[in-house]
Structure 1
Amino acid sequence: MAPAPPPAASFSPSEVQRRLAAGACWVRLGARLYDLSSFVRHHPGGEQLLRARAGQDISADLDGPPHRHSANARRWLEQYYVGELRGAPQGSMENEAVAFEETQKTDPAMEPRFKVVDSDKDLVDWQKPLLWQVGHLGEKYDEWVHQPVTRPIRLFQSDLIEGLSKTVWYSVPVIWMPLVLYLSWSYYRTFAQGNVRLFTSFTTEHAVAVPKSMFPGIFMLGIFLWSLMEYFIHRFLFHMKPPSDSYYLIMLHFVMHGQHHKAPFDGSRLVFPPVPASLAIGVFYVCLQLILPEAVGGTVFAGGLLGYVLYDMTHYYLHFGSPPKGSYLYNLKAHHVKHHFAHQMSGFGISTKLWDYCFHTLTPEKPHLKTQ
């Protein structure tokens, strides 16, 4: 017979007020208390929105307006549970459980993967590297990987390989922006010397000179093409559904993108590490050099590389930044958070929603839950 769980901590209203006065951000759902102090700067609606509700019952806020929070968001909240408020009306916990179930039933657009997961008693052992474990999850993997938790992930047993799989956000501009500047200047000089020819057939007899005035347009074309590639990679590669009977394809999906959906606020895994990024970037450079004249292909590559840097920086900011309400980045952050917590098979654009508009994959708007 399993031992009974320890009783929940109990806090008086005066104890809660003391913590609020010390700067903590505690909220409640009926009698249940949650310490959101470590989450406020990650909140999609901005830190001030949560700070303004410190000490309050947020039951109505979860149901909207401005929007109804997904079941994944409600599950995410449970990771910050600290105890019960003494003197709160009885039955509050039961009412919240009913509301949680109703949220799942009344939103047909939401994906059906909402069983409550205790991250300390999960399908995997969090004290060991996860990569070699996820392949055994089989048909349970897709549900498990889309139930986010707030904890870091370790993929590999080897400290060296594990270190190469992680990086700080500023490594991306530090490593790649000098290359963008060098290639841009180098290829611009080639254009300025009038040595760039674009062949109009498979022979060298028919070629037209490309003036240096074309350089900015070709560079911008690289940025534009990157945004399209970003969308297709995210939609068709990162969000492929691996066969439940394929141990290695599940592992591949997890190492490419699944680990990010499982732990979306693991700051060491929000941008591409330099070593694997170098391999992919090298392949793209070689391909462009094979199909285009050197200077043209190099300029497209330089623009695309800048697009990649902007993409990774935008992605990091959408997770950890607090953009002003109503701004472009605020709307982009809301778009991306819905992709993580409610609609994983839509909202694939990171740096722009352009391609989601074009290919009809915008995250659907959810109706508010009307309370009686």
Structure 2
Amino acid sequence: MASKDFPVKFAGETYDLNKFLKDHPGGVNTLERYRGRSIAGVMKTYGHSDSAYHMLSDFKVKSAGDRNLTGGVSENGRIITKPEAECDVDEIAFLEELESRLDWSKPILSQLHKIAPHYQKWVNSAVYRKCRLFSNPMLEYMTFTPWYVVPIFWIPIILYLGLSQYFDYVQCEDCEDRHVTNIQFIWHLVFGFIFWTFLEYSLHRWVFHYDPGSSIRMIQMHFLIHGMHHKVPFDGLRQVFPPIPALVIVITLVTLIWPIFTYPLIKAVGSLTGYLIYDMIHYYVHHGSPSDGTYFYAMKRYHSNHHFLNHDKAFGISSKLWDHVFKTIVQVKKLNFALRW
């Protein structure tokens, strides 16, 4: 094999993890020692989910060789190897069968009816693939968003709104009836920021993770707004929110809160700042390489736990604040060594 390959063994098969090394939630350094060796034991030791075993199929090296098939036979005739017996074989076989119902070379959105009765199980079983949503090229293009587009789009809007509100309410002349001090202006910004953190948690928990049931339209909607991210969590072009749909949501929310809050646009500046920070943190905890002991290191491990172990907990991405409040906090396993990505 070429030096860039990273072969590992599992259940008598060979898998090349080269593309996955930096994305591995457990870091590069936990895999380095297993190059060319079996990973069955370590996967069991560190409590990998059925989704992790299922995702191995995306890295399988398609070549003949000594399969070392030993062990029993499942009810459906599958030979169970000794390493494979350590995981839930029937569950993984079912996940693989679900996956086989879809053709990943074609738009996925129009095929979701094939797995509808088991959508929640399927969508939380991650794969390491690219996902096409629409057959229409223009619609498909609008679903891709490089991370840097988000700050390029939102920073000018935040600066414009912030400065215009500051001059309208703080540095204004003849505006005693609506004048605010610098401290009051900052307070409204901070309130908006904190309001965003609550909104971030609420949207993630009660909107993005709602159960669409068996309705195909609701399943498709869920997959569009968040399910896709859980199914293909390593696709860097689909981990920040596209600016135009985000702008529509922002305008809708501002319209709703306008009659409720005083100085709504000042508060909106704080919320938009919180949103921008959130989206950048979300991208970074997926693709960044934070150092042990830092805030982002802890949040990267915390968010990985949400993706691969506790889908119904750990909803906070930029912070754990509201997970503590609503008791959805997760205690991530402590390690005696630092992870590297």
Query: Structure 2 length as normaliser, TM-score?
Result: 0.85
Asked if the contact 2:51–2:125 (Cα under 8 Å) also holds between the matched residues in 1, the reply is: yes
Q: Deviations over 1:129-182 (max 9, x none)?
A: 222221453322222211111111111121111111221111100000111111
Q: 1:63 offset after TM fit, Å?
A: 2.5
Aligned partner of 2:191 in structure 1 is: 221
What is the rounded CA distance, in whole Å, between the counterparts of 1:338 and 1:31 in structure 2? 28
Aligned partner of 1:7 in structure 2 is: none
Aligned partner of 1:27 in structure 2 is: 8
Aligned partner of 2:86 in structure 1 is: 99
Query: Residues 287 and 24 of structure 1: is their aligned pair in 2 closer, same or farther, counting only changes over 3 Å?
Result: same
More deviation in 126-135 or 174-183?
Answer: 126-135
Asked if the contact 2:170–2:179 (Cα under 8 Å) also holds between the matched residues in 1, the reply is: no
Asked if the contact 2:108–2:131 (Cα under 8 Å) also holds between the matched residues in 1, the reply is: yes
1:252 has 2:214 as partner:
no
Of 113, 117, 126, which aligns to 2:95? 117
Alignment partner of 1:57: what SS?
Answer: coil
Query: Residues 299 and 334 of structure 1: is their aligned pair in 2 closer, same or farther, counting only changes over 3 Å?
Result: same
Q: 1:290 offset after TM fit, Å?
A: 3.1
Structure 1: unaligned runs, 5 residues or longer: 1-17, 105-112, 199-206
Matches within 5 A, 1:8-19: 19=2
Q: How many aligned residue pairs are there?
A: 327
Aligned partner of 1:328 in structure 2 is: 295
Q: Which amino acid in structure 1 is aligned with residue 228 of structure 2?
A: Q
Q: 1:191 offset after TM fit, Å?
A: 3.1
Alignment partner of 2:258: what SS?
Answer: helix
Aligned partner of 2:76 in structure 1 is: none
Q: Which amino acid in structure 1 is aligned with residue 83 of structure 2?
A: E
Structure 2: unaligned runs, 5 residues or longer: 72-79, 336-341
Q: Deviations over 1:164-213 (max 9, x none)?
A: 12211111000001111111122122232367989xxxxxxxx7853122
Q: 1:262 offset after TM fit, Å?
A: 1.3
Aligned partner of 2:315 in structure 1 is: 348
Q: Which amino acid in structure 2 is aligned with residue 298 of structure 1?
A: L
Aligned partner of 2:47 in structure 1 is: 68
The percentage of aligned residue pairs carrying the same residue is 34
Query: Structure 1 length as normaliser, TM-score?
Result: 0.79
Alignment partner of 1:117: what SS?
Answer: helix
Query: Residues 196 and 261 of structure 1: is their aligned pair in 2 closer, same or farther, counting only changes over 3 Å?
Result: farther
Which structure's CA Rg is the greater one? Answer: 1
Asked if the contact 2:169–2:175 (Cα under 8 Å) also holds between the matched residues in 1, the reply is: no
Matches within 5 A, 1:1-372: 19=2, 22-29=3-10, 31-64=12-45, 67-82=46-61, 91=70, 94-101=81-88, 114-118=92-96, 122-193=100-171, 210-244=180-214, 246-293=215-262, 296-363=263-330
Q: Deviations over 1:245-288 (max 9, x none)?
A: x2211111111111111111122211111221111011123234
Aligned partner of 1:14 in structure 2 is: none
Asked if the contact 2:313–2:328 (Cα under 8 Å) also holds between the matched residues in 1, the reply is: yes
Query: Residues 136 and 248 of structure 1: is their aligned pair in 2 closer, same or farther, counting only changes over 3 Å?
Result: farther
Q: Which runs of 4+ in 1 moved over 4 A?
A: 83-90, 113-116, 194-198, 364-368
Q: Which amino acid in structure 1 is aligned with residue 10 of structure 2?
A: L
Q: 1:241 offset after TM fit, Å?
A: 0.5
Q: Deviations over 1:341-361 (max 9, x none)?
A: 222111111111111111111
More deviation in 161-170 or 172-181?
Answer: 161-170
Alignment partner of 2:203: what SS?
Answer: helix
Q: Which amino acid in structure 2 is aligned with residue 269 of structure 1?
A: R
